[in-house]
Structure 1
């Protein structure tokens, strides 16, 4: 989505954030059977990735404390992921993809997670929520914790150099060569963020420095875990907004969510446009999305064709029927950008990768013709459901929506893309030089 278009949808998004949650389970077309589903899942609710000492340098009031280390999944986040796991059993068990009333056949349900604590714990919680009394569910991750997993955090190679200067130029090209126009377009949310961080013109932070980053220049720098990131008022505002979202999803009292300085959810949604802006620039700019999403998207296509291609899965035995890849919001944004996907669940902005949400690629088999089709959906608890720790079932499902695949609009059957067409779209979207993961053990 272009930056200007993103700004235009702000008013509609804020109105949507005030709508009650509603969802319908997407039906299986008559004469079709679901054969496989691959879920690209974000980890659940976590603490801020920076320490309070670091965060306090830019706010007038000290940040609230969390019960876990920086960047770790919270106990509430773990519980919410178990609730989502339980719903996946309801959803996919009801469709006949996995067992609904017993432990699944060995190897048919599996998860592969990034190496961080929040992703590993999220994966374990999803499986525990699905099958709390079953011990044969493989939760796997890369054995070597000293190097990044190339699926979730690919590194530069000779064929995929991930050149920072070129990526910086690509981002700046999208915003007219500098951040001046963006900061004008987002002047409202930036001013609101400054007033939240530094109310009543406060100039000194709780950490002893200058309060906020309103007067600092914006810049693009390299990021250890996300390729590139923004520094300056937009970068810090996006981080603060996401932290406020996590506080709210954690169920913190209102006087602790942004220190009680947000009048209502629409104010939080307006601040979160800064987080979506940062993600759009740093993760959805095309060359960056190709560098960081080609492995994932190529692997998703391979798994749909052959369940034995799921990471860590044996070449013998049952193929994976429900495969869960647990990573980060950046991973979802990378794949969404490659396929030009967007969605919206109640209470969230368009294309937002909510804590614990999943982009689902579901493959169906038409019995009469033998043809196969791929349908994309997005599943995530709404913010209200996370706050309430709401039980999820057929009557009260999480937020869910079918996701259109624009490149397949001419070939759709029952709103699903023929598998052959989907694979061609995947092949055209990725950069082959950035594909280093081919499935199985890597």
Structure 2
């Protein structure tokens, strides 16, 4: 018997990570001291979206325009209004530019405005993964939550034992033993660099030490790969195998997992974003058919953890929250029964699609993986009853000190 799947797509909310950027400004000085090699120059300011990053987002936008047409939510040739589309980003250059390029690809010539709340380079509270509470018991709970996620309840240095072999690969690539950083501080190996957990109100939680340094280095190499740098020049030609690439990416993924996927911490950090998404789906106002939000990997990781989505794999990717990847939350209706359903997908480009700057369309689409709600049975494969999703969202929401609102 053929399973009847919902056939009317009513609303889509996309949470996207920004596209390819240059290394972040807060890590640039460190990167220059930790190796004897000369880092490649970037053609944009630190932390800014690159030209290729913009191109790929325009491709993604053009694909989504076809995706929306195929599902009859917004048909090709239909004039777009503010009631149809809402585009909003964090107020950093790389997020605003990502939203602009995506909109150009999807809605060129249409009356669609990219909105953001503040002047460029000021964080919007909706996307800011900072600790919002100064109470000691909350700070202690976050600290314990992160330590538990890392498996380091006895000593935070134990985390470095887990990653030691990956650190050694980075040390070799960098020629770390002859670096200015090594000469100045005297730490013979990454694993000897002191490690500390930072949990401070009004700041993002962080782990200082080998893991955040190694994450910055691995991030720089992965960005070079995405940008299309010749392989002989990526990491000065010192990455020897796919297994070494995997170990480098695993450092980034572990760092993300510890800081933004610890259950209590993720829920705390994602709370403003969850309130915003709840408002988009459940405000009682006439919703936009298609909402496109642009933030960061920390936003995606914390949101998926807070709403208790199951762990997932992204074939063709080494990053767990890849550059330009999009979490696509969907509201569907069955025209026969009028039952409403929820569906979530992670739509992303593989590493090869990014590196080759492949044009995206229905014949060469990005990859897609269904995201599953932990502890809830699918009513139809890939779909949940809408009330199961809204119940999960309402269960998770907690009051905020300030009202969350889009600009």
Residue of structure 1 equivalent to 2:330: 362
Out of 219, 236, 247, the residue aligned to residue 224 of structure 2 is: 247
State whether residues 280 and 287 of structure 2, in contact with CA within 8 Å, keep that contact through their aligned partners in structure 1: no
Alignment partners' CA distance in 2, 1:85 and 1:363: 20
Q: Which residue of 2 aligns with 1:149?
A: 124
1:148–1:154: 8 Å Cα contact kept in structure 2?
no
Q: Does 1:235 align with 2:204?
A: no
Residues 332-351 of structure 1 deviation map (CA, whole Å, 9 limit, x = unaligned): 000111123333222224x7
Shift of 1:377: 0.1
Question: How far apart, in 2, do the equivalents of 1:113 and 1:214 lie?
Answer: 38
1:216 is aligned to 193
Instruction: Compute the TM-score of the two structures, normalised by the length of structure 2.
Output: 0.89
Q: Identify the match of residue 329 of structure 1 among 282, 297, 304.
A: 297
Aligned counterparts of 1:166 and 1:322: Cα–Cα separation in 2: 37
Q: SS at 2:375's partner residue?
A: helix
Give yes or no for the alignment of 1:297 onto 2:274: yes
Asked if the contact 2:60–2:102 (Cα under 8 Å) also holds between the matched residues in 1, the reply is yes
Task: Tell me: CA distance 1:213–1:184, structure 2 relative to 1, closer, same or farther (3 Å).
Answer: closer
* Secondary structure of residue in 2 paired with 1:407: coil
Distance 1:29 1:189, change over 3 A: farther
Give me the whole-angstrom Cα distance separating, in 1, the residues matched to 2:338 and 2:224.
48
Q: Which residue of 1 aligns with 2:179?
A: 204
Q: Which moved more, 1:49-58 or 1:324-333?
A: 49-58
CA distance in 2, matches of 1:266, 1:272: 10
1:49 aligns with 2:18: no
SS of equivalent residue, structure 1 residue 379: strand
Q: 1:36: Cα distance to partner?
A: 0.5
Q: Please say if 1:95 is aligned against 2:71.
A: yes
SS of 2:198's equivalent? strand
Q: Could you tell which deviates more after superposition, 367-376 or 258-267?
A: 258-267
The Cα of 1:231 is off from its aligned counterpart by 1.1
Structure 1 residue 165: Cα displacement: 4.5
Give distance in 1, aligned partners of 2:137 and 2:94: 26
Q: Name 1:345's counterpart in structure 2.
A: 314
Relative to the length of structure 1, the TM-score reads 0.83
Please say if residues 47 and 73 of structure 1, whose CA atoms lie closer than 8 Å, have aligned partners that are also in contact. yes
What does residue 404 of structure 1 align with?
372
SS in 2 for 1:373: strand
Secondary structure of 1:340 counterpart: coil
Secondary structure class of the residue paired with 1:272: helix
Sort the Cα spacing of 1:422 and 1:125 in 2 relative to 1 into closer, same or farther, 3 A: same
Indicate the residue corresponding to 2:148 in structure 1. Answer: 173
How far the C-alpha of 1:437 sits from its partner, in A, is: 4.3
How many residues matched? 399
Shift >6 Å, 4+ stretches: 159-162, 223-226
365-374 or 29-38, larger mean C-alpha shift: 29-38
What secondary structure, in the 3-state scheme, does the structure 2 residue paired with 1:39 have?
strand
Structure 1 residue 193 corresponds to structure 2 residue 160: no
For residues 170 and 156 of structure 1, do their structure 2 counterparts lie closer, same or farther at Cα, with a shift above 3 Å needed?
A: closer
Q: CA RMSD in A?
A: 2.7
Kindly provide the CA deviation profile for residues 65-114 of structure 1, in whole angstroms up to 9, marking residues without a partner as x: 11011100011111111111111111111111112234423431121100
State the 1:242 CA deviation. 1.5
CA separation of 1:270/1:158 partners in 2, compared to 1, >3 Å: closer, same or farther? Answer: closer
Inter-partner Cα distance in structure 2 for 1:227 and 1:264: 34
Question: Where in structure 2 are there 5+ consecutive unaligned residues?
Answer: none
Distance 1:218 1:246 in 2: 26
Of the three residues 423, 426, 433, the one matched with 2:393 is 426
Check whether the contact 1:48–1:70 (CA below 8 A) recurs between aligned residues.
Answer: yes
Which runs of no fewer than 5 residues in structure 1 stay unpaired? Answer: 1-27, 309-317
Report the alpha carbon displacement of residue 155 of structure 1 after superposing the two structures with TM: 5.2
Q: Answer whether contact 2:24 2:47 (CA < 8 A) is retained.
A: yes
> Are the structure 2 counterparts of residues 32 and 243 from structure 1 closer, same or farther at C-alpha, using a change threshold of 3 Å?
same
Q: Does the 8 A contact of 2:345 with 2:371 survive in 1?
A: yes
Q: Is the 2:132–2:201 Cα contact (8 Å) retained in structure 1?
A: no
User: Secondary structure of 2:329's match?
Assistant: strand
